[in-house]
Amino acid sequence: MYRMLRTLACIAMLASTPALAQGGDAEAGKAKTATCVACHGQTGVSISPAFPHLAGQVPGFVAAQLKLFQKGADGGRQNPSMDAFVVGLTEQDMLDIDAFYSAQVPAVGSITPEQEELALAGRPIYRAGHAEYSIPACMGCHGPAGKGIAPHYPRLSGQPVEYIRTQLLAYKAGERENNIMNDIAFALSAEQIEALATYISGLN
């Protein structure tokens, strides 16, 4: 049953991710990330827990998300903070930026001793899912260590707790659209989301 749920979840996510041609240039991408530094840091390690780390993200994922931001309300992602940055990007720009970030050293996951108990509560959800609510194991698509599977399933390990929590709550409320993630997050309680976010943040 768990295996079937994981398979269906991964197929659904594949269908919802835009495809882009391959061929990014990391060196060119570095120059094109000058405006990204304020939120995502020089190499894609975020300066604030509100923003995602992009360093070491699976190849193809950043480009796909930029494409979704560019589409906005027309079947994409809506984020006012990103609008001005993506409006003039070409597909090649997106591929170059993606190539730069995917080549960087990812952030190291860590949690405080005070967070360890909460992380342990999130561990079984990440690794085994929740059969009663038809929630597949997160690691089925994102990997046992949260490193993701290119190009559709992002690296989650080391992402800030605040960012992961915010995204799961957005999926739960339908503010961020992805059919399978909407269903999964909707079935999670606020307490489970907090535990899951904490566990994921500490993965390495």
Helix 190-201 × helix 161-173 angle, to 10°:
140
The model carries a pTM of 0.88
Alpha helices in the chain (DSSP H): 2-15, 26-32, 37-40, 61-71, 80-86, 91-102, 116-128, 139-142, 161-173, 179-187, 190-201
Helices 91-102 and 61-71, axial angle in degrees (round to 10) = 140
pLDDT of residue 73: 83
Domains observed in the chain: 2-9+109-201 (1.10.760.10), 18-102 (1.10.760.10)
For residue range 32-74, list pLDDT tens digits in order. Answer: 999 999 999 999 999 999 999 999 999 999 999 999 999 998 8
Model pLDDT, residue 8: 47
Q: What is the reported pLDDT for 124?
A: 98
**The pLDDT of residue 10:** 55
Q: What is the pLDDT of residue 4?
A: 45
The residue written with tokens 């909407």 in the block is 182
**Residue 4 phi, psi (nearest 5):** -65, -40
Tell me which amino acid residue 204 is. Answer: N
Contact partners, residue 14, CB within 8 Å, separation at least 6: 152
Q: Which amino acid is at 124?
A: P
- Looking at residue 20, its pLDDT comes to 56
What averages of pLDDT result for each successive group of 10 residues across the chain (204 residues)? 48 49 88 97 97 98 97 90 95 98 96 97 97 94 97 96 98 94 97 98 94
Structure token digits, residue 103: 């080549």
